[in-house]
Homo-oligomer: A and B are copies of this chain.
Amino acid sequence: MEATMTPLASGFDFDIWMTERLAKVEQALDRWITTNVSAGLDHGAPAALVQAMRYAVLDGGKRLRPLLVFAAHEAFNGSNDGVGAALRAACAVELIHAYSLVHDDMPCMDNDVLRRGKPTVHVQFGQASALLAGDALQALAFELLTPLDGSVAPVIQAQLCALLARAAGSAGMAGGQAIDLASVGHTLTEDQLREMHQLKTGALLHASVIMGATCATPSANALEGLHIYGHAMGLAFQVVDDILDVTADSATLGKTAGKDAEQDKPTYVSLMGLDASKAYARDLLQQALAALQSSGLHNAHALQALAHMVVHRAC
């Protein structure tokens, strides 16, 4: 099925939309990763730890997960309902993503020295600090979702924490990383590879979409469409990542290219070949766009544009 809408339909300017939201999330992360995040305790966070946390999060990254949160939230209404919650959710998913990169880069995991064009956190600050910074970033995500100032309704706080915890945990991201770890040097079927990626990267991308919607008041039909969109985007992102690991260079990626093949990791490209992987990514894009079309959302332009952006990086 071919989607009929394009990112620029109805005068929607995706570049302006993205620039504004990236600035918002960057400012918020900068403000919230500080030495005194935790009102309610007598003490602030130690400066050295916060420095490593800020290094891990600020000034880098595509911020795809925050953008998905904003896009899903804004798909429901043009009002300001839930804007504060959506900003917190956007930062929280990025903190979980950032912590997973810090731990994933450590010598006992992928042992990577370059991330977003900079030395990885353990190279810059030492392994112990990287370990603690990652741990503290995960906790901070849940701090952000539970403000003490009454700005987010408790029922929304609870739903956001529930979604994020499950996406991050043993049946989500951490579980996917464990399968990834165990799969090096093994042959996986396409189903097994898909299952691994649905946990490792798909769960948090999917949760970003659903958390954004949760900050609005989603109808069941719209939520159903977003579930399909979120799953398709989660898979598409990984297929594209596998393609880029083969076709792009380290400078373009901001991380070490060709690592998957070097480490004998199963990927979509190693399993299906390059052309079939690209066709699969394009198919997932169409699935995502079709789900949006049938969901009855008020304003799906940003969600559509993000889907195009993810897939067109590689295809």
Q: Does A267 contact B (CB under 8 A)?
A: no
A99-B135, A135-B135 known, 9 other contacts, Cβ within 8 Å: A35-B171, A36-B171, A37-B169, A48-B178, A106-B108, A108-B128, A139-B170, A143-B166, A154-B155
- CB within 8 Å of B: which A45-60 residues: 45-46, 48-50, 53
Residue A131, interface by CB 8 Å: yes
A87 at the interface (CB under 8 A from B): no
A174 contacts B by Cβ under 8 Å: yes
A53 to B135 alpha-carbon distance, docked (Å): 16
With contacts A41-B171, A158-B158, A171-B43 known, is A131 near B132, CB below 8 A? no
- A125-165 residues with Cβ-Cβ distance < 8 A to B are 126-129, 131-132, 134-136, 138-143, 145-148, 154-155, 157-159, 161-162, 164-165
Q: Which of chain B's residues have a CB closer than 8 A to the CB of A185? A: none
Measured between beta carbons, the chain B residues less than 8 angstroms from A123 are none
> How far in angstroms is the closest Cβ of chain B from A80?
21
Q: Does A301 contact B (CB under 8 A)?
A: no
Number of copies: 2
Q: Look across to chain B and name the residue whose beta carbon is closest to the beta carbon of A38.
A: B171
Chain B residues with CB under 8 A of A168: 135, 139
Closest residue of chain B to A33 (Cβ to Cβ) is B170
Task: Scan residues 4-19 of chain A and give those whose CB is less than 8 A from a CB of chain B.
Answer: none
Name which residue of chain B comes closest to A210, CB basis: B40
Bound-state Cα–Cα, A71 to B109, Å: 41
